Amino acid sequence: MAQTTASAATIEGAAWHGDTLLFSGLSLALPIGWTCLIGPSGAGKSTVLRLLAGLSTATRFEGTISSPSRIGYMAQEDLLQPRLSVLSNVLIGQHLRGGPVDTDLAMALLEAVGLTGFERRRPKALSSGQRQRVALARALMEDAPLALLDESFSALDAANRIKMQDLARDRLAGRAVLLVTHDPFEALRLGDRIFMLANGRLEQVDALPATPPHSPQTEGFGAHYDRILLQLLAAT
Amino acid sequence: MRGFLTAISFILLWQAVILVTHVPPYIFPPPLAVARAMLSNAGMLFDNALVTSGEVLIGLLIGTILGVGLAVAMALSARLRLALRPALVISQAVPVFALAPVLTLWLGYGLTSKIAMTVLIVFFPLASVFLDGLLATPAGSLDLGQLAAASRWRVLWWLRLPHALPSLASGLAIAAIYAPIGAVIGEWVGASKGLGFVMLMANARSKTDLMFAALLIVVALTVMLHFFASVVARRMAG
């Protein structure tokens, strides 16, 4: 891919699940903007993301990975710690690293995700949409050049999903984002670039030309969606 | 209020059993006789209850500290876990009561052997339950620790411990019920003070009403302790 800007992260190589090849010849660079990774379940989408994050996987990987030391991370679960306040949850990265804690920034980020006044509450007092917004604030707290989103919006209801997607696009502007999703609609709506991982191979598919987020009203949305869906159907 | 009703129904049932079966009072004394024995021996019972309570509380405290300490150490060190986990499992199968004579032999007839007995009976279930809790942290939460390259201690403090608090709480609630058993058994084997000692003496002199009075006080102590432990547990798990 001819990208003039430097990539925030790259991964090249192959991975095995036991003796079974998961993918090979994979080469993915993440420049600024949203890269969406779609594909059938079990194709290794989350493995790619976890490898980039430096997290443990059930696979053996051979190749090279370069990613920044700081990464904003959002999973499908909000991963909020049940007995810590919302504020402590936003600060958990700093707590876990030790050293100074920037409460002012955490409060500002809570404001940015629309949760002013929630800082002393426990996560269980929040709705699932609010909890995922705390998770976004926690990811933003890292102030990292790279954000890795693993099905981060998949557990939300339709209205909250749209809201969270737009909020995340807004707040993560200017950074490299990898969104792993099983949903071609979401990929098309949010992706500056879209890749499909299926049958052990990574392939780029067409994203819509203008700047996301798109809506189904955007010209070409339907045609793009049908094409991606056909490719997915062919892959499974 | 519900506890009060339960107590009243229990006493009525007790009296009914005696009325129906005509058990002689030296086998099963009526509630009134026990109440009389409790009042006429109030001072003596109180002194001995203090002794037993002291053993229970000190034993519970030491047992909790040791149990929490061992669970934390085993959560931090995989090597220690590998070495001690089988021992922890087997220890659950040892009838700790059988150790009471040994403890009395080693530690004497004083407080120490009773406290040791209480510690033993509290320690293993607590350590085991709390360790399970510390190791049951959701994988996703541990990912946060890995992303921050956090030290084992920080992962323990910020991720494992908050998730394990309900286990620690239920461990404490169990410990609160076991602790008085430990102290009383210790007293049965050999003591000159405490409610267990009173029960043995009363039994030997066929003062069944006094024995039941002491027994009721042990029950009341246990219920109180369990109540406090439950309050602490609820706050911790909240």
8 Å CB contact of A55 and B147? yes
SS3 call for B178? helix
Residue B2 has pLDDT above 80, yes or no: no
**B-interface mutation test, from A92, A124, A132, A134, most B Cβ less than 10 A away:** A92
So what's the ipTM on this one?
A: 0.89
- Give the distance from residue B92's alpha carbon to the nearest chain A alpha carbon, in angstroms: 30
Residues 6+ apart with CB under 8 A from B145: A96, B154, B155, B158, B159
Contact call for residues A109 and A92 (beta carbons, < 8 A):
no
B174 touches chain A (CB under 8 A): no
8 Å CB contact of A95 and B149? no
Name the band, by pLDDT with cuts 50, 70 and 90, for residue A3: very low
- Give the distance from residue B88's alpha carbon to the nearest chain A alpha carbon, in angstroms: 28
Paired sense of beta strands A33-38 and A193-198, if any: parallel
Contact call for residues A53 and A73 (beta carbons, < 8 A):
yes
Residue A50, number of CB atoms within 10 A of its CB: 23
8 Å CB contact of B149 and A55? no
Which pTM does this prediction carry?
0.85
Average pLDDT, integer, range A205-215: 90
Tell me the per-residue pLDDT of B78-115, one tens digit each, with 9 for 90 and over: 999 999 988 888 877 878 788 889 999 999 888 999 99
DSSP H/E element including B230: helix B208-237
Residue A4 has pLDDT above 60, yes or no: no
Residue A2 has pLDDT above 60, yes or no: no
Which tokens is B106 given?
């080693």
8 Å CB contact of B158 and A55? no
- Among partner residues B138, B146, B154, which is closest to A98 by beta-carbon distance? B154
Instruction: Tell the burial category of A227 from Cβ atoms under 10 Å away from its Cβ (0-12, 13-18, 19+).
Output: middle
- Among partner residues B138, B148, B238, which is closest to A96 by beta-carbon distance? B148
Residue B208 has pLDDT above 60, yes or no: yes
For tokens 């994988």, what's the residue?
B139
Paired sense of beta strands A60-66 and A9-17, if any: antiparallel
Give the chain B residue nearest A135 (alpha carbons): B144
Looking at residue A16, the DSSP 8-state letter turns out to be E
Residues 6+ apart with CB under 8 A from B75: B81, B131, B134, B135, B156, B160
Give the chain B residue nearest A83 (alpha carbons): B162
DSSP sequence for A91-119: THHHHHH-S---HHHHHHHHHHTT-TT-T
Average pLDDT, integer, range A152-165: 89
B85 touches chain A (CB under 8 A): no
The CA distances from residue A116 to A50, A72, A80, A86, A161, in Å, are 31, 21, 17, 11, 20
